[in-house]
Structure 1
Amino acid sequence: MQSISTIGLDIAKSVFQVHGVDAAGQVVIRRQLKRRFVLSFFEKLPACLVGIEACASSHYWSRELQALGHTVRLMPPAYVKPYVKRQKNDTTDAEAICEAVTRPNMRFVPAKTVEQQGCLMLHRARHLFIRQQTAVINSIRAYLAEFGIVAPVGRRGVEQLLEVVADTADRRLPEVARTCLAALGSQLRALKAQILEFDRRIIAWHRSSATSKRLDAIPGVGPALATALVASVADAKAFRSGRDFSAWVGLVPKQNSSGGKDKLGSISKQGDRYLRSLFTAGALAVIRYAKIHGTGIGPGLRSCWRVDRPRLLRSRSPTRSPAWHGP
């Protein structure tokens, strides 16, 4: 084991696969490891290069192995896949990771800190509760519509429906249906309270981050987008320009070019869907504000006035689009 220079580690929930080679590329070790033996195994090894696919729990293992003195490189699974030979299994996956991590043109994912992962969890949990809130509201509206009870779209409309449910004198609802709808109303109120609590925590995290507060100065950027961006991008220097960042988010046109003819389509949507939704909503919000007030309008923003949403999403200058002003 003293001659191992590079290791491909295929992580999982319980069983890990290790593929190690020496400086000449010869296989030195190929074995499985139980989860409880992973750290003790790497403690006995001299410092080496460890490649891991950027997937669930990869940032945790990256921090743990770096603490032991190893150099860890995380790679997108899509970039590792071309190195898999024939059958796909843990052994060939680890071998592919070991080969991919040594490629000079490979793109790596910076490891996130514990604080960054915690902030991202805040955003993901809040987003989950918002989706659940939408589902509960739709259920309340649909169930009451079965009894001929409807209300206007919006927050006030839902409150009107809940007032009907709470009114026991209203005989349009059977008692069984009223009980079910009252339970949905209680769940809706609990979800709203939890979302507000997460909003407060996101704002507190935003105020504690100097980088997030600097991003907040950009037109259209608020605490939600600023904190999500700081938590998602471990090192902004990994991008050479704003256009590289736009390509990473997935806000650049898809290319289907050949023979010197450039063919651009809709946006690629290859990056983080959550971040992309924040940027898109922010661009639309700022355009609407500028259209109403007409202040501080640049030529790039003025050209977006008369385009609809699908055309805006296909814009060829995504780096100029401001981001969403969050809560």
Structure 2
Amino acid sequence: MGNFIRSGAFEEMLPASVRCHSMRLSKRLRLLDNEINELEQEISRHSVEDENYERLMKIPGVGTLTASALVATVGNVSSFKNGRQLAAWLGLVPRQHSSGGKQQLYGISKRGDVYLRTLLIHGARAMVRHLNPRRPISSWIRRLLSRAHKNKVIVAVANKIARIVWAVMHKKVDYDDIHLIR
């Protein structure tokens, strides 16, 4: 069977119009793949010029795309008073309604930059899925998982990552795992 597919006999069984369309689609995919590679290299070149990019790349849950998007979008973090304000700006804090001294918390506000919030949540999801026992945050995540639904934990981790991003960019220090515990 393997020889049948490799020999091209399978393609010969297809109608000529299907072969033509599949070849065009294949060519488009190769072009898109090349374009994606070029764009990733361009992002890497521009990002290396910024000192925050290198610092952000050391934070668990923050990859190339997230770091470059944060540097480009957030820019100067001194416009945020603290990490919670950055997390709120990204829409990673609970909406709240307070009346008569009673505080009621709802789901996240989802205000702010959808793309950055999505990237941070994907990074947090990867951290939750692949817990590294050598990182102090893993025990914090496990404790949260024992009390709350997985999706709430993922958003809480994304919130924590946003706060760490603010601290790293504001204080101009490199990341270390101690930031995650505080």
TM-score class, shorter: 0.7 to 0.9
Number of the residue aligned with 1:79: none
Number of the residue aligned with 2:143: 303
Alignment of structure 1 residues 62-101 onto 2, 5 Å: none
Question: Residues 212-256 of structure 1, C-alpha deviation per residue, up to 9 Å, x if partnerless?
Answer: 112222223232212211111132111111000000001111223
CA distance in 2, matches of 1:305, 1:172: 53
Residue 102 of structure 2: SS of its match in structure 1? coil
**Offset at 1:308?**
5.2
Number of the residue aligned with 2:78: 237
**Match of residue 91, structure 2, among 224, 229, 250:** 250
| 2:124 and 2:158 in contact (8 A); partners too | no
**Match of residue 173, structure 1, among 5, 14, 31:** 14
Unaligned runs of 5+ in 1: 1-163
Alignment of structure 1 residues 27-38 onto 2, 5 Å: none
Higher relative contact order (CA 8 A, sep 6+): 2
Task: Verify: 1:320 aligned to 2:142, yes or no.
Answer: no
Task: Verify: 1:191 aligned to 2:59, yes or no.
Answer: no
Task: Verify: 1:206 aligned to 2:47, yes or no.
Answer: yes
- Which structure carries more helix by proportion? 2
Amino acid corresponding to residue 141 of structure 2 in structure 1:
L
| 2:123 and 2:158 in contact (8 A); partners too | no
Residue 99 of structure 2: SS of its match in structure 1? coil
Number of the residue aligned with 2:108: 267
Identity of aligned pairs, percent?
A: 34
Q: Which has the larger radius of gyration?
A: 1
Number of the residue aligned with 2:176: none
Give the root-mean-square deviation of aligned CA atoms: 2.6
Amino acid corresponding to residue 28 of structure 2 in structure 1:
Q
Unaligned runs of 5+ in 2: 165-182
TM-score by length of 1: 0.43
TM-score by length of 2: 0.73
Number of the residue aligned with 2:60: 219
How many matched pairs?
A: 156
- Which structure carries more strand by proportion? 1
